[in-house]
Each structure stands twice: as C-alpha cells, then as structure tokens.
Amino acid sequence: MNESKVRSHPKHLSRDHIEYRVNNMLSYIFPNQGDDACPPNLEKIVEVLSTKYGVTFSFSQELCMSAVGELILGSFASNPPTIRVSSTLPMWSPLFNHTLAHEIGHLVLHRELVGKGKYISIEKSLADTKSQLMYRGAAERSDLGWVEWQANEFAISLILPKFYLQSLVNKSQKKLRIYRNFGTIYLDDQNINSLNCRRIVKNISEISGASIPFIWSRLRHLGILQDHRSNNVWKDEGTCVYEPILEVIHTLT
C-alpha cells in the first residue's frame, strides 16, 4: 500500500484513548499512587523520563521565534528525544507546566510519527508558541493541527487527573458553600446555576493554575459537569465529531 493510501485512512485517537495513555504513564512512574487525589509531580516525571528513557530536557535557554514571529515556548524533537521549554517561563509556573506537559504529550503520542519521511515530516522539531498551546475544542483540519490538539488534550489530562480534579470540585463547592448536587457541577438556564458554575471553575483555576477553557473541557469530558441548558452549544464537543484522526500504536510503557 502506498504512503498516500496509508495516510488517508488513519483511525481516531479520542480523548478517552489519550487519557488512557496518560494514566498508563502515571501508573508506571508512580506505581504506588493509585487513585490519590493529588496533582502529578512533574519534576519526578522529568526525572524518570530522563534517567530511564534517555530523554533530554532543557529549561535554561531562550528559544527562537517561529516563522510567523511568535516566541517559541516549547519544542520536541524525536531523534534523539529532546524536550525544551523556554527560559522565559518561570519554572513550575502554570504556563511552564502546561508547556512541559504539552511537550511530554508529543513524546508519548507522536515520537514515532514525527520526522523526515514520517507522518509529520518535520526534520528538526515540533515548535510550540502560545497559538499551539491555546485551547481548541476541535482540531485544525491538518496533520499538524491534529497533533497539537492531541498534545493539548494530553497536557490537561496530565495536569488535572480525574481524582485530583474531582477533589478540586469538592473543595471549591465547600469553600463557596454550594452543596446542591455536591460532587458534580449542575448547569441549566437559571442564572444562579450559571454563576455558581463560573465561581467553581474560577476557583479551580486559581488552585491548579490550569486555564479556564481547559478546565471547562475537562469537566465536560469526565462527566463532572452536567449541562442541561436548552441551548447547549457544547453538546457535540468531545464526541466523534471532533475526535482527531491519528492512531498511535506505540506505547511508552
């Protein structure tokens, strides 16, 4: 089968599949963590990927500008596996963490797909600016657009694991004295429920450092957010309508 036919019939890689890959990696790096409601230790992840998998990490250099004049915040090269995060980002700040998690997503999901003569034929590295790191409910209709969508979904699944996010919802509801439907977030056409939803999401963002659009998407995907609005513009988000087309058959563990 020639390359054009192979490339024209790839399978989907859904949010569920991406989350499975995140959990697979976390269970290997933190074998005793189980379902602990805590954020992942990104420093430990970097340590394990570096020592056991030979991945090179660099956080001390300013990266160059992209072809369209945007500052590159992170990059991934597959051969040899190298992750860089710009020194302009304070280490372990929210944007640093998201950029690092995004690049780890490229490593886990795309290292066999990126390179000369491969699915994404970039000879040097994937370079990510704020444009690539922004939330998108749907991928751009290009090979590279799918790859960036997947890396962002990987990043938010890594930064907000299910049990950690659930604990943040519970803590926020207690703090804000919102006890109706405790443990879930109920949204309908009533202004009070809309206000409470925004308050909870804002509080989660303040605690976790994750961006508000990513939090909304994550809550919806996990079913923690129950959206019963009559004009629910999000109802198809996360279904097969928006699932990307790449299948990754290689696993990290």
Return the pLDDT at 118.
Answer: 55
- Can you tell me whether residue 123 is helix, strand or coil? coil
Q: Are residues 97 and 198 part of one domain?
A: no
Q: Are residues 109 and 8 part of one domain?
A: yes
Return the pLDDT at 248.
Answer: 29
Q: Are residues 187 and 126 part of one domain?
A: no
Q: Which residues contact 160 (CB under 8 A, 6 or more apart)?
A: 39, 168, 208, 210, 214, 215, 218
Q: Are strands 81-85 and 56-58 parallel, antiparallel or unpaired?
A: parallel
Cα separation of 46 and 56, whole Å?
9
Are the C-beta atoms of residues 66 and 127 closer than 8 Å to each other?
yes
**Looking at the domain assignment, is residue 100 inside a domain?**
yes
Segment 175-191, tens digit of pLDDT = 999 998 899 999 999 99
Segment 192-249, tens digit of pLDDT = 999 999 999 999 999 999 999 999 999 999 999 999 888 765 543 333 223 332 332 2
**Looking at the domain assignment, is residue 250 inside a domain?**
no
Helices 191-208 and 212-222 cross at an angle (nearest 10°) of 110
Burial 19-30 (b: 16+ CB within 10 A, else e): bebbeebbeebb
Q: Are residues 122 and 176 part of one domain?
A: no
Domain boundary among 133, 159, 185: 159
Q: Are residues 105 and 175 part of one domain?
A: no
Number of domains in the chain: 2
Domain boundary among 135, 159, 183: 159
Q: Are residues 196 and 72 part of one domain?
A: no
Segment 137-176, tens digit of pLDDT = 765 666 677 888 999 999 999 999 999 999 999 999 999 9
Q: Are residues 168 and 155 part of one domain?
A: no
**Looking at the domain assignment, is residue 109 inside a domain?**
yes
Q: Are residues 202 and 95 part of one domain?
A: no
**Looking at the domain assignment, is residue 244 inside a domain?**
no
3-state class percentages of the chain: helix first, strand second, coil last, to nearest 5: 45, 10, 45
Q: Which residues contact 174 (CB under 8 A, 6 or more apart)?
A: none
Are the C-beta atoms of residues 50 and 56 closer than 8 Å to each other?
yes
Q: Are residues 184 and 72 part of one domain?
A: no
**Looking at the domain assignment, is residue 253 inside a domain?**
no
Q: Are residues 204 and 132 part of one domain?
A: no
Are the C-beta atoms of residues 184 and 225 closer than 8 Å to each other?
yes
Question: Encoding tokens for residue 245?
Answer: 């087309």
**Looking at the domain assignment, is residue 45 inside a domain?**
yes
Segment 3-16, tens digit of pLDDT = 443 343 233 578 99
Q: Are residues 217 and 154 part of one domain?
A: no
Q: In terms of residue numbers, what domain contains 181?
A: 164-227
Segment 13-44, tens digit of pLDDT = 789 999 999 999 988 888 877 667 788 899 99
Q: Are residues 28 and 63 part of one domain?
A: yes
Give me the mean pLDDT over the 116-125 stretch. 57
